[in-house]
Structure 1
């Protein structure tokens, strides 16, 4: 039996996105490519298809192993696809780079910046603009 599943349902079932609506929004925004082509949420997915999915956790290059419209446990969801070795390496490098990147966080995080905070922000921006 050759059955297929909507792309947004599969991404939700495989736990790439928390809801189908966020999966659809990501597809519409161009964060999901099916077989090197930009996809639409209702596009039918088959076993063996290649996906490139960009999420908050990074960019995944995967091949579809199993189809499902039902969201199950994370262990089952991981068996629905296989991520390429290059993709895993790239995500690990990107994660490490994000952790090493300098961050400026204001303790209050809201409202107008104080004079001291503005000076720190200005120094931070100057330091990063000359370092690139």
Structure 2
């Protein structure tokens, strides 16, 4: 049996053990669909749910380990049962303007709409 936070760190789901500990304490990690504490034991067959912005990742524990191992070995310790990533998370990054550039001009707005393929007639807010 292994502590939940140690297992999350060992299989490389979190970069540090303290990050795994904070995620479990913050309620972002569930074990068998129940909120748990970082010291809760993990056994093979358990399902660990890790919540990220916009979606949840699900892992079935196949092996418990105490030490951090290489990525190829770590992948053998769980089965990824995560459903496909939502379409809106697969989109590219949002375009950002330089700080202090102010609001886009009418010309800038039209160029942005042309780039994203939006219809200029429907993208304006009703006045």
* TM bucket normalised to smaller: 0.7 to 0.9
Q: How do 1:24-43 and structure 2 match up within 5 A?
A: 24-43=21-40
Aligned to 1:75, the other structure's residue is in SS state helix
TM-score, scaled relative to structure 2? 0.73
The aligned residue for residue 52 of structure 1 is: 49
TM-aligned CA deviation for residue 113 of structure 1? 4.4
Aligned residues: 114
The aligned residue for residue 63 of structure 2 is: 66
TM-aligned CA deviation for residue 7 of structure 1? 0.4
TM-aligned CA deviation for residue 57 of structure 1? 9.8
2-structure distance, mates of 1:33, 1:26: 10
TM-score, scaled relative to structure 1? 0.70
The aligned residue for residue 90 of structure 1 is: 84
2-structure distance, mates of 1:14, 1:50: 14
1:104 and 2:103 are equivalent in the alignment: no
What RMSD in Å do the two structures reach over aligned CA positions?
Answer: 3.1
Name the larger-Rg structure: 2
Q: Is the 8 A contact 1:53 1:59 kept in 2?
A: yes
1:116 and 2:104 are equivalent in the alignment: yes
Unmatched runs of 5 consecutive residues or more in structure 1: none
The aligned residue for residue 9 of structure 2 is: 12
TM-aligned CA deviation for residue 53 of structure 1? 1.1
Render the CA deviation track for 1:83-102: whole Å, top value 9, x for unaligned: 22xx2x432xx2x4223367
TM-aligned CA deviation for residue 104 of structure 1? 2.8
Aligned to 1:105, the other structure's residue is in SS state coil
Q: Is the 8 A contact 1:8 1:41 kept in 2?
A: yes
